[in-house]
Structure 1
Amino acid sequence: MDVFSTKGLAPKLRREYWNDAICEAFTDLVTDFAVNDDINAELVSVPLGDLTYARVQTTSSKVTHTKHHAAKAKDKVFLLHLQLANKSLTTQRGKEVCLDAGDFTLVDSSSPYSVDFDDPIAMGVMRIPCDALLERIANPEDMVGYKFSGQRDISGLLSQMLRGFWTQGNAPTTDAINRQLANSILDLLVTSFQGARNTVISPNSIRRERYLHILRFIDYNLCDPDLSPTKIAEIFKITPRYLHQIFAEFARNRETVGQYMLNRRLEECAQQFQDHSVSHQKITDIAFTWGFNSMTHFSRVFKDKYGASPRAFRNEAKVSLN
C-alpha cells in the first residue's frame, strides 16, 4: 500500500507534490486547485494484479489530461472513476458525465479529458491497462463517456464491491487473491456495460475476446522469428492446450495457431512483392523480415499458397504494374 498526503507539507510545496503523486499513480495529469493556499489531498493506492486501485481525497479542484499528456503517454490505460462522496463532472471526446456518489465512468489516456470537483471529494480511481480490457471486449473505447449507475443492475453490484473495498479497512494480501479480485472486477465491468447496452452476452464471449486479442498480438509480432504457440501461451498465461482449443473454436476453417502465423507472414511477404516502393529489397530480406529463417522452407510454403515461386510471383506483379 502506498500513501501520498499533503499533510505536513509547506503550502507552497503541496501543489507540485500532489501533481507528481497522481502522475506516478495513474497517468500524466495536472491538478489546479480552487484555493492554492489551502490544498489538502491524500492518495492511498494498492496493487490488484495488473490493476491499481486508489482512494483519492482532495479539496475543490480540476484535473486535466491535456493533448500533450495524451501524445506522450507510453502505455494506453483506462481509468475507472468511482464517486465515493459529493459530485464530479468528467469531460472527454465531447461527452460530459456527471457522477453522484456511487456512480462511475471510464476515461481513456490516449485522448484529452478533464474532471471538475466543485466540492471536496472522495473518489476511487482504478488504473486498468488496455490489454486487460481487450481480453474481454473488442472495443473498450466504447465504454468511455458512459455513466454506470451505482444504484442498480450489475454496475450497482460492482459499485458496492468497490466502495466496500475501502470501508472494510483491509485489502487482500496475497498475489493470488489480488489477481482473482482484479479478474472479477474486470468481468463485472464489461458485463455491466454489455448488459446496459442490451448486448447479448454468450457463454463464450470472453473466450472470443481473448481469441481476438491473441490475433492482434500475433499480427503485431509476426516479425519475431521466435514467435511460437508455446511463447504465445506463456505471454497470455494460458496453457498451449487451451490456446489450441480457442483457435479450434473460433478460427476460420479451424485454422491452427501455427497455420494462422504462417498464412499471415506469407500474406505480408506477398503484399511487399507487389509493392513497387520496395522493389529494391531482396526476396531473402523480405522473407527474413517477416519471421522466416529458411529460404528453402519459405520458397516451398509460398509456392504451396500462391502457386508460384516468390521470384515468379514478384516478376508477374511487376509486369502487371507496367
Structure 2
Amino acid sequence: MESYSTEAFPISTRAAAWTKLYSQQLNRVNFTPADRHEFAARLSLSQFGPIQLASIAANRSHIERTRNHIRPGAPRLYSFLMQARGNSVLDHCGHQAQLDQGDFVLCDSAAPHSFTLGDNSMIIMLRVDAGLIKKHLPTPERFCGLKLDHEVGLTAVMSAMLENLNTQVQSGFHSDHDGRFARHVLEMLSTAYAMGFDEQPEGSAVMLGRQSEVIRYIEDNLRDPELTPARVAEGLRISPRYLRTLFASRGEKASSYIVRRRLEECGKQLRNPAWAGHTLTEIAFAWGFNSAAHFTRTFHEHFGMAPRDYRRAGSN
C-alpha cells in the first residue's frame, strides 16, 4: 500500500503540489482547497486483484476534471465512490449527486466531473477497467452521476464491506484470493445497483446507450455558444425527431438541458474561490452564453436570485 499526505509539502505550495500528486496517482484534475492555509489531505492506494482501492481524506476542497484533462486514447476506468465520512457533491454526466455517509456514486474517467468535498470528508474509491466492469454491469454509463442511497437494497451491506476491506488493506492484509474476492465485490455492487435503480423507467440497451452518447456530446461541447439541439443531432448523425424522443423519457427538452447545465456550471464557478477574480460576464461567456442580459435573466429564474447576489451569498 502507498500513502501520501499534504504534511510532506510546505503550506505555501501545498495546494499545487497536492494537485500534481493526485493527478499522477489517480486522475488529472484541478484540486482547489477552500482554505489554502488550513488545507490537509491524505491519499492511500492499494491493488486488490483487478481493482485499485483508494481512500481520500480531506477538508473542504473542490476537485475538477475538465475535458482538457482527458487524454485521447487513455485507458477508460470507472470508479465506484463511497462516502465513508462527511458529505460531498459530485456533478457528472448531467447529474448532481449529494452524498452522505454510506452513499455510492459511479464516475467515468472519460467524462468531465466536479467533486466538492465537505469538511472532514473521506471517500473510498474502487477503480475498475471499463472492460471488466461491463462484465458485471453491462451499461455502467446509465448510472454515472446518480446517487445510490445507503438506505436502498444492499447498499448499506456494501458500505460496511468496503469500509472493513479498506481498514484491513491499510493494516497490511493480503491474500492469494484477492482476485476472486474482487470479482465477488463487483458482482455484489452490480446487484446493489440493479436493486437500487429497479424503479427507473424501462428502456432498451440501445436507447440507454444513445441517451448516454447524447449527454456526453452535450457535456463535451457545453462551452460552445453555437451548441443547439440541431447541432447535437447533426454532430451525432441522428434526426432531430429521434433526439426529441431520447429526451422525452428524461422529462426535459434538449434545449432546456443545455441551458440548465450551463447555469449549473456558472453557479459552481461563481462560488468557487479560484474564480473570484473573474467577472460575471467572463464566467457566463466561458460557458456558452453570448448575452449578459439573457444570462442574468435565466440565472435568476433558475436559482431565484441574481448572479451577483448568488456569488455574494456563497462567500458569507
Which bin holds the TM-score, normalised by the shorter protein? 0.5 to 0.7
Amino acid paired to 1:23: S
Taking the aligned partners of 1:166 and 1:137, their CA distance within structure 2 comes to 22
Long gaps (5+) in structure 2: 200-316
The CA distance in 1 between the partners of 2:156 and 2:172, in whole Å, is: 21
What amino acid is the match of 2:48?
A: L
Q: Deviations over 1:251-298 (max 9, x none)?
A: xxxxxxxxxxxxxxxxxxxxxxxxxxxxxxxxxxxxxxxxxxxxxxxx
Give, as a single letter, the amino acid of the residue that structure 1 aligns with 2:189: L
Q: Is it true that 1:44 corresponds to 2:58 in the alignment?
A: no
| Distance in 1, Cα, partners of 2:24 & 2:124 | 16
Judge conservation of contact 1:81–1:124 (CA < 8 Å) in 2.
Answer: yes
Specify the code of the residue in structure 2 equivalent to 1:156: A
Matched residue of 2:12: which SS? helix
Higher mean alpha-carbon deviation, 99-108 vs 154-163, is at 154-163
Q: Which amino acid aligns with 1:149?
A: D
1:183 aligns with 183
CA distance in 2, matches of 1:177, 1:64: 36
Alpha-carbon distance in structure 2 between the residues aligned to 1:4 and 1:52? 16
C-alpha deviation, 1:189, in angstroms: 1.2
C-alpha distance in structure 2 between counterparts of 1:33 and 1:44, whole Å: 19
Q: What TM-score does the superposition give when structure 2 sets the normalisation length?
A: 0.59
Superposition map of 1:102-251 within 5 A: 102-168=102-168, 170-174=171-175, 176-198=176-198
Letter in 2 for 1:146: L
Structure 1 residue 55: Cα displacement? 1.2
CA contact (8 A) 2:78 2:109 kept: yes
Answer whether contact 1:102 1:149 (CA < 8 A) is retained.
yes
Distance in 1 (alpha carbons) for counterparts of 2:117 and 2:144: 19
Quick check: 1:104–1:150 contact (8 Å CA) kept in 2?
Answer: yes
Partners of 1:95 and 1:13 in 2: CA distance: 33
- Over the matched positions of the two proteins, sequence identity in percent amounts to 21
Letter in 2 for 1:132: L
Match of 2:31 in 1: 31
Per mean C-alpha deviation after superposition, the further-off stretch among 20-29 and 82-91 is: 20-29
Measure the CA separation in 1 of the matches of 2:68 and 2:187. Answer: 32
Q: Alpha-carbon deviation of 1:82?
A: 0.8
Q: Which residue identity is paired with 2:64?
A: T
What does the per-residue CA deviation read over 1:228-256, in whole Å, with 9 as the maximum and x for residues that have no partner?
Answer: xxxxxxxxxxxxxxxxxxxxxxxxxxxxx
- Residues 194-251 of structure 1: per-residue CA shift (max 9 Å, x gap): 122339xxxxxxxxxxxxxxxxxxxxxxxxxxxxxxxxxxxxxxxxxxxxxxxxxxxx
Partner SS state of residue 147, structure 2: coil
Q: Scaled by the length of structure 1, what TM-score is found? A: 0.58
Change (3 A) 1:166 1:136: closer
CA distance in 2, matches of 1:73, 1:63: 23
Letter in 2 for 1:173: H
Whole-Å separation in 2 of the counterparts to 1:173 and 1:24:
25
Structure 2: how far apart are the matches of 1:29 and 1:119?
Answer: 20
Gaps of 5+ in 1: 200-322
